[in-house]
Chain A
């Protein structure tokens, strides 16, 4: 089985890839050790490193895209057993998917670095921020490049860890700490599945090298069918955690406690997409059963993520739920066999969602500005800077941010002329085609929920745009000073605007395809035959438009104030994300605690038994010790003292005086004589 070539030397591409990987790590190490001595706490330094990394990624992308993939492999360690010499290898694969991911990750990371120069300036623990970004970027690039699933798993865990650090960045905020813990735990639980998958893979094939598995003739046939299914489900389980799929999606809205640029980088563009990327990479390990599960879970996630987004008031939470829902789309893409489409959606989503988050960050930043302005003028009042009910009419003050938000939001909604349309439409079409081929008509739920999600997406994004940018500034309605502060509000700084504008440009169709309705260079490279029916293009567009129209009707024409309050049960269910947290609390956490306390009880009982046996042993030991010292030692001592006394007596006879010796001799001679004459 092990006919693996242990060493494939680095070529220029994989060498560059390693450099791309190591640059953020270098930045992390430097910042971790000496950031307090660097100018600007090392922020420019880190940004430069990521910028170099990005430029190298572009170089690699241009070399690799639509070209040969490059593989390098070297031995990590060697196990010499009685049977064979096994080389455990690590490999780096730069193929089309990895190349595009390299560009996406380093690009978004670079933009977030630049954006944070303004956004995070002067915030507490600024120094750590760039350090954490460095380790995150490193870990994410590791997932992208590694072709060995065990190494991928290590980077995977590292990504989870850096996500934990960044969600809990404002660690003096109770919610942030809780959210960080929650995200970490949910990821850990899901990663168990990944680990199980790895076990199965090793047990059956004895390798983690994906390139090797691809090379083995009929590799998947070597794994027994049930195990193969478990393997696929295990890997998917890991991806469900990272990519926030139902029922693990609850951590993602809470993760919005992290700084907004971090939400853009990690919880929208890159980390959460890692699950989709991994599934695309391990597509050959997924059998039809698993694919159906993936498609179903994706469909559930898409719609279950989209519906709560309709009623959220927190600007970032809307985007978080939308991210969940879009990740559901990507899973539908994977599950219906259209993994290139999923990767495409991943790419376009990375750009427009990062754009949305960064624009939302700009809005939040401006709201904080108003707060600070009020504070300086002595009219401080506490309000939530992320609450959309406080916003409104911001398009007049933040025109560029507004345009960016509009473009990226339309891209998310999926209207023609925007990148989101291209990718979403392919996924929906493929899902429809897939459902037609399945025996089970129930599976039409998958494309239908996708279509429904398209409608809901349009609704909540239009609602958000209206609440944030249209109408009047609601905080200033009964609050003169806030209105004044609003009048003085200026557009955000250029460090923040440049990334926004770049992301807005990348959210248009022209970047991915010259034909706004066509398939573009992305999909044609991934060798994916696709042409949609014209009616299928029309349906999602109509749904999206009607979603926008509905939002327009509610919030502009009817000016529904009711919808800005939580006033019925349905509303409350959605606000709380289906009460999933409560469900988990009641049924899983509580029972886990019950098990724990039962175990604790048992433990105490066992402790008691051990205690008693311990005490008994000590008592017995004391008795034995007494016996030992009194009786055994006593006998020995007695013998000793008797011999001692005899010795002393005998010694006393030896006085050194010649006369006493003589006397003794005489005495004994007389005794002998007496014995001879009288006794014998």
Chain B
């Protein structure tokens, strides 16, 4: 039955996910929530990969999605570690206050 759903629908959902992720990344102040937005973006990409792998018998898209999930897990771990360090340093994780990345 899945085969019946046209690919456009996946792409729309994926685009929405991506848009929501971007919106979250841009607008949220909390670094953890921004991380979540990044996960959304990654997952939008995963969804695309999987959707396109329907027409690929080698299922390379699904393989790639799996890699992305693994990398995303690692990335989340690293990112959270960074956030913990940021918190230790700045006593906050509000991204508006962490603004020394200039000049």
Binding site for B on A (CB under 8 A): 654-659, 661-663, 666
Partner of A656, one of B25, B26, B34, B100: B100
Contacts of A662 in B (CB 8 A): 25-26
Contacts of A661 in B (CB 8 A): 101
Of B4-12, B50-58, B65-73, B91-99, the stretch lying at the interface with chain A is B91-99
Count of chain B residues with Cβ under 8 Å from any Cβ of A? 12
User: Does residue B89 face the partner (Cβ distance < 8 Å to A)?
Assistant: no
- Contact, CB under 8 Å: B99 / A663: no
Given the complex of chains A and B, what is the CA–CA distance between A662 and B26 in angstroms?
7
- C-beta contact mask, B77-95 vs A, less than 8 Å → 1, else 0? 0000000000000000001
- Contact, CB under 8 Å: B22 / A656: no
- Contact, CB under 8 Å: A658 / B26: no
Given the complex of chains A and B, what is the CA–CA distance between A656 and B95 in angstroms?
10
Contacts of A656 in B (CB 8 A): 99-103
- Contact, CB under 8 Å: B95 / A659: yes
Given the complex of chains A and B, what is the CA–CA distance between A661 and B34 in angstroms?
14
Task: Give the residue name and chain of the A residue nearest to B96 (CB).
Answer: A657
Give min CB distance, B19 to chain A, whole Å. Answer: 11
Contacts of A654 in B (CB 8 A): 102-103
Q: Quick one: given A657-B95, A657-B96, A658-B95, are A663 and B101 in contact (CB under 8 Å)?
A: no
- Contact, CB under 8 Å: B95 / A655: no
Given the complex of chains A and B, what is the CA–CA distance between A655 and B102 in angstroms?
6
What are 27 pairs between A and B in contact, CB < 8 Å?
A: A654-B102, A654-B103, A655-B99, A655-B102, A656-B99, A656-B100, A656-B101, A656-B102, A656-B103, A657-B95, A657-B96, A657-B98, A657-B99, A657-B101, A658-B95, A658-B98, A658-B101, A659-B25, A659-B26, A659-B34, A659-B95, A661-B101, A662-B25, A662-B26, A663-B26, A666-B22, A666-B26
Give min CB distance, B78 to chain A, whole Å. Answer: 15
Given the complex of chains A and B, what is the CA–CA distance between A657 and B95 in angstroms?
7
Given the complex of chains A and B, what is the CA–CA distance between A666 and B100 in angstroms?
21
- C-beta contact mask, B11-53 vs A, less than 8 Å → 1, else 0? 0000000000010011000000010000000000000000000
Q: Given contacts A657-B95, A658-B101, A662-B26, could you give 14 more A-B pairs where the C-beta distance is less than 8 Å?
A: A654-B102, A654-B103, A655-B99, A655-B102, A656-B99, A656-B101, A656-B102, A656-B103, A657-B96, A657-B98, A657-B99, A659-B34, A662-B25, A666-B22
Interface class of chain B by DSSP: loop
Give min CB distance, A660 to chain B, whole Å. Answer: 9
Contacts of A659 in B (CB 8 A): 25-26, 34, 95
Give min CB distance, A194 to chain B, whole Å. Answer: 86
Interface class of chain A by DSSP: helix
Q: Across chains A and B, which 9 residue pairs bring their CB atoms closest together, nearest first?
A: A656-B102, A656-B99, A656-B101, A654-B102, A657-B99, A663-B26, A659-B26, A659-B95, A656-B100
Task: Give the residue name and chain of the A residue nearest to B31 (CB).
Answer: A658
Given the complex of chains A and B, what is the CA–CA distance between A664 and B43 in angstroms?
22
Given the complex of chains A and B, what is the CA–CA distance between A658 and B100 in angstroms?
10
Give min CB distance, B50 to chain A, whole Å. Answer: 23
Given the complex of chains A and B, what is the CA–CA distance between A657 and B26 in angstroms?
11
Contacts of A666 in B (CB 8 A): 22, 26
Give min CB distance, B16 to chain A, whole Å. Answer: 16
Contacts of B34 in A (CB 8 A): 659
Give min CB distance, A673 to chain B, whole Å. Answer: 13
Contacts of B99 in A (CB 8 A): 655-657
Contacts of B96 in A (CB 8 A): 657
Given the complex of chains A and B, what is the CA–CA distance between A666 and B22 in angstroms?
9
Given the complex of chains A and B, what is the CA–CA distance between A659 and B24 in angstroms?
10
Give min CB distance, B24 to chain A, whole Å. Answer: 10
Contacts of B103 in A (CB 8 A): 654, 656
Give min CB distance, B33 to chain A, whole Å. Answer: 11
Give min CB distance, A64 to chain B, whole Å. Answer: 101
Give min CB distance, A195 to chain B, whole Å. Answer: 81
Given the complex of chains A and B, what is the CA–CA distance between A474 and B43 in angstroms?
150
Given the complex of chains A and B, what is the CA–CA distance between A658 and B103 in angstroms?
13
Contacts of A658 in B (CB 8 A): 95, 98, 101
Given the complex of chains A and B, what is the CA–CA distance between A656 and B98 in angstroms?
8
Contacts of B25 in A (CB 8 A): 659, 662
Task: Give the residue name and chain of the B residue nearest to A658 (CB).
Answer: B95
Give min CB distance, B52 to chain A, whole Å. Answer: 18
Q: Which of A658, A659, A662 has the most CB of B within 10 A?
A: A659
Given the complex of chains A and B, what is the CA–CA distance between A666 and B25 in angstroms?
11
Given the complex of chains A and B, what is the CA–CA distance between A656 and B100 in angstroms?
5
Give min CB distance, A580 to chain B, whole Å. Answer: 97
Given the complex of chains A and B, what is the CA–CA distance between A658 and B26 in angstroms?
9
Given the complex of chains A and B, what is the CA–CA distance between A661 and B102 in angstroms?
11
Task: Give the residue name and chain of the B residue nearest to A654 (CB).
Answer: B102
Contacts of B101 in A (CB 8 A): 656-658, 661
Give min CB distance, B42 to chain A, whole Å. Answer: 14
Task: Give the residue name and chain of the B residue nearest to A663 (CB).
Answer: B26
Give min CB distance, A647 to chain B, whole Å. Answer: 12
Contacts of A663 in B (CB 8 A): 26
Task: Give the residue name and chain of the B residue nearest to A653 (CB).
Answer: B102
Contacts of A657 in B (CB 8 A): 95-96, 98-99, 101
Give min CB distance, A514 to chain B, whole Å. Answer: 120
Given the complex of chains A and B, what is the CA–CA distance between A666 and B98 in angstroms?
20
